[in-house]
Amino acid sequence: MSEIKFPTKVWNRIADFSISLEVDIEKDVEVSIDGEEIVVKGPKGVLRKKFNSKLLDVDIDEKERKVILRVFNPRKFERSYLNTMKSHLKNMMLGVTQGFRKTLIVAYAHFPIRVEVDEENKIILIHNFLGEKKPRKAKIVGDSTKVTVKEDKIIVEGISKEEVGQTAANLRQATKIKRKDPRVFMDGIYVLKEG
């Protein structure tokens, strides 16, 4: 594929209208680019994130151990996209080194709620919620997300912040009570602690 050659004056003008951000690569983390995906490898696993190559230019400086994110002709949307990708990259590096964790609590007044994890089908079954005979279901998002139940606490762990957060939100949504006053009917599953 041939490279486009710009006259010097034009190229300098294009380079003037660009914004770049640098993200330091953490220790024990490898960052690479595979097509339109940023791949982050660490001791806990591998995460991939797609990016729009029409908006964003991604370079990796191996010597300085930095990822350089750059947009050309930035408007409001491009600037926000640049900051969003920077945050995603930092969260990915944090996930593959430390991981993410959310602790949820099972609250009930009369009918004791029993929570069961079905690893094979990647769902969480919530039995006897408000005395219902049919169990409610919440989906476990992602392959790396692990859910453990200890008495009245549910611990959701994983390397992807989005997948851990969505799994916790699915649990909360599955136990949402409709057409009743939430100040009186407080049964459900609630996020107790993050991190």
The answer to whether the beta carbons of residues 52 and 81 sit under 8 Å apart is yes
Q: Do β-strands 136-139 and 123-127 pair in parallel, antiparallel, or remain unpaired?
A: antiparallel
pLDDT of residue 11 exceeding 60, the answer is no
Cβ density class 106-119: b for 16+ within 10 Å, e for less = bebeeeebebebee
What is the reported pTM?
0.85
**What mean pLDDT value characterizes the chain?**
90
The answer to whether the beta carbons of residues 124 and 137 sit under 8 Å apart is yes
The CATH number corresponding to 100-194 among 3.40.50.2300, 3.90.930.12, 2.60.120.10, 3.30.70.1290 equals 3.90.930.12
pLDDT of residue 1 exceeding 70, the answer is no
Nearest to 45 by CA among 92, 9, 84, 8: 92
Domain ranges across the chain: 8-98, 100-194
What whole-number distance in Å separates Cα of residue 27 and Cα of residue 44?
Answer: 13
pLDDT digits (tens, 9 = 90+) for 89-147: 999 999 999 999 999 999 999 999 999 999 999 999 999 999 999 999 999 999 999 99
Average pLDDT, stretch 175-185?
91
8-98: CATH homologous superfamily?
A: Ribosomal protein L6 (3.90.930.12)
Q: Residue 55's pLDDT is what?
A: 85
